[in-house]
Structure 1
Amino acid sequence: MQTVILTLITLVAFAANSVLCRWALMDQAIDPLSFSIVRILSGALTLLILCTLSCQSKSKQKLANNNTSVYTKLKLQFQFTSILSLLVYMFSFSFAYLELGAGLGALVLFVAVQFTMIAAHWFSGNRMSLLEWAGCLLSVAGLVYLLMPTESTQTPDSVSIILMSLAGVGWGIYTLAGKKSLNALQSTTANFGFSSLIIFVGLSLLVLIPNAMPQVSISEQGLIYAVISGSVASGVGYSLWYHVVKKLNTVVASIAQLSVPVIATLGGVLILSEPVTMQFIISSTVILLGISLVLVAPKRKK
């Protein structure tokens, strides 16, 4: 029951990231590069504080750990794959939303995530039952229907489609790497911390190159959006996700994330006063039914 509750919390956090990013970029409150950088740095700072407090608390209970610094523990959690995939996801996600509509962007992202994780599940030697396949296809169908345009729209930008697909692949790989995590909080802190170091190195190199530094645009409102997204929805949310993903089947972890667009749409209804449409009700029902089939499938096997 605890795993279910924590999973729901993380899915809400994922949806919050989408809402905050769309809100900030659509209002032009901040540029995508600055949003990504602030998001990672604020997440790293928040996680470092939480990790330090957690280590100090455990050290009081186990005196043998007194000689082990937080930095040493973070080095032990270093995973280059996780860091690289996190950076690919963060920056691709923000830049893709400059041209893509919110609905189409979410569709490309979460379908890419699902197929990345299912492909990894398949190539690792696992096989999916007909019930699991049916649940996956049903959830994708519901998601496509939810994000299907109701009016004539322009042809989407191909570069933005590629960027959002990369973001989906990056997040899928990041999620899979979480299954090997020894400590969820320390792993997430290490990922954000080492990503921050890479960003500092990159920015330092750009400063040394004449006219290489891109123009930035940050308002107070945009900064607030990015900090909330980084510290709460990303830092704390991703740490919780690394905690629960080890307890979830790869297919279950994949299909559960297809509920994020539904949650994000519901957030738009509550926060932005968007109307509840019959399309939302039907698609949400179909997606949740697909998720239910995947959740029931392992029990049917037993």
Structure 2
Amino acid sequence: MAMTRKGADAFLFGVMLLLCALWGLQQVAIKVAAADIAPLLQVALRSGIAAVLVGLLMTLRGGWQGLRQGTWRPGLLAGALFALEFLFIAVGLHYTSASHMSVFLYTAPIFSALGLHLRLPSERLGRLQWGGIGLCFLGIALAFGGDLSWSALDGRMLFGDALGLCAGMAWGATTVVVRSSSLSEASPSLTLFYQLFVAFILLLAFALCSGQLQPLRLTPVSLGSVLFQGVLVSFVSYFTWFWLLRRYLASNMAVFSFMTPLFGVTFGVLILAEPLSLNFVLGAGLVLLGITLVSGHAWLARCFGAGTPA
């Protein structure tokens, strides 16, 4: 018998608030520890630590049966896209701020919605969602534009912002692969293991081949950043998300998850003293509004009594 999923309540809001704060802090943690441990090495190690923890949990629960269900091909592809996402994040943070990275990374729902629209008939976009996509891309253009004077544009930051957008694309593509392949029937833990394990191998290999293992100093900051990302973010928070998905409506959770870029921007300003231009703030607001319309259209329809747009 299928489990009935609940609507939003105070417990969901509280847990999502905590999860979004953790996710928003992740880019800031990478940036803070960059002087002691290379960002690329950080994201490789976080994936490796979390992969070991997920693998141990699956062993205790007997969760390896999915390997015999033809999931390894899409699993490897999802893992490669997951690695690409964090490669873009690690490199992009050399050039742009954690605040900018948080906003551009969370354009992922836009790209996953576009991909699923093309791949699955059941995921066709309605008018409200297309409007949200238009708002999102308008916001991206505004956020990229700085003060709209070409002579004043910061080329390094623009490059980093572009990599953040590429990371969002890779994340969106990962969602499309998971939803449109045999992974859609696999356990969340197996899907997560594929992503973490493959990402660890590919990112570590890339770091070795490109000579991006330095700096590497074992300090409280570097160890704290890697453990925070590997244990709290990539293991505890992801499994908490999956646990919530089994009990609450996904549309409600999707809307709450858009608090993450707000936390990312706030932590970037408070911890790293990152500056914010007016155009970036306005652009980020349009991006978040667009994502809300795309991913939260079902929730909005219930709230305002509107029918599902054709």
Question: Under a length normalisation based on structure 2, what TM-score does the superposition of the two structures give?
Answer: 0.67
1:233 aligns with 2:237: no
Measured after TM superposition, the shift of residue 16 of structure 1 is: 2.5
Contact 1:109-1:167 at 8 Å conserved across structures? yes
Unmatched tracts of structure 2, length 5 or more:
none
Measured after TM superposition, the shift of residue 266 of structure 1 is: 3.3
2:32 maps to a residue whose letter is W
How far apart, CA to CA, are the structure 1 residues paired with 2:267 and 2:63?
37
Q: 1:164 to 1:269 in 2, by over 3 A?
A: closer
Contact 2:144-2:161 at 8 Å conserved across structures? no
How far apart, CA to CA, are the structure 1 residues paired with 2:137 and 2:21?
19
**Aligned-partner SS, 1:218:** coil
Partner of 1:222: 222
| Aligned with residue 36 of structure 1, among 22, 43, 52 | 43
How far apart, CA to CA, are the structure 1 residues paired with 2:284 and 2:211?
44
1:89 aligns with 2:89: no
Contact 2:132-2:289 at 8 Å conserved across structures? yes
Q: Higher mean Cα deviation, 28-37 or 177-186? A: 177-186
Contact 1:83-1:195 at 8 Å conserved across structures? yes
Q: Higher mean Cα deviation, 79-88 or 117-126? A: 117-126
Aligned residues: 277
Contact 2:54-2:193 at 8 Å conserved across structures? yes
Q: 1:9 to 1:128 in 2, by over 3 A?
A: farther
Partner of 1:300: 306
What whole-Å deviation, never above 9, does each CA across 1:212-254 have from its counterpart, x for those lacking one? 75442123212320221122112333344456399646xx95x
Contact 1:104-1:147 at 8 Å conserved across structures? no
Map 1:1-302; keep pairs closer than 5 Å.
4=8, 5=12, 10-25=19-34, 28-53=35-60, 55=61, 69-73=62-66, 76=69, 78=72, 79-111=75-107, 113-124=108-119, 125=121, 126-138=123-135, 149=146, 154-156=154-156, 160-179=160-179, 180-198=184-202, 202=205, 213-219=211-217, 220=219, 221-241=221-241, 244=245, 248=250, 253=254, 258-268=258-268, 291=292, 294=297, 295-297=299-301, 300-301=306-307
CA-based RMSD of the aligned residues comes to 4.3
What whole-Å deviation, never above 9, does each CA across 1:174-212 have from its counterpart, x for those lacking one? 233444152112321233234435557x37985xxxxx7
Q: 1:181 to 1:39 in 2, by over 3 A?
A: farther
Contact 1:90-1:167 at 8 Å conserved across structures? yes
Provide the identity percentage.
17
How far apart, CA to CA, are the structure 1 residues paired with 2:300 and 2:133?
12
How far apart, CA to CA, are the structure 2 residues paired with 1:43 and 1:18?
17
Measured after TM superposition, the shift of residue 159 of structure 1 is: 5.2
Question: Under a length normalisation based on structure 1, what TM-score does the superposition of the two structures give?
Answer: 0.69
Q: 1:140 to 1:248 in 2, by over 3 A?
A: farther
Q: 1:75 to 1:40 in 2, by over 3 A?
A: farther
Contact 2:36-2:222 at 8 Å conserved across structures? yes
2:98 maps to a residue whose letter is A
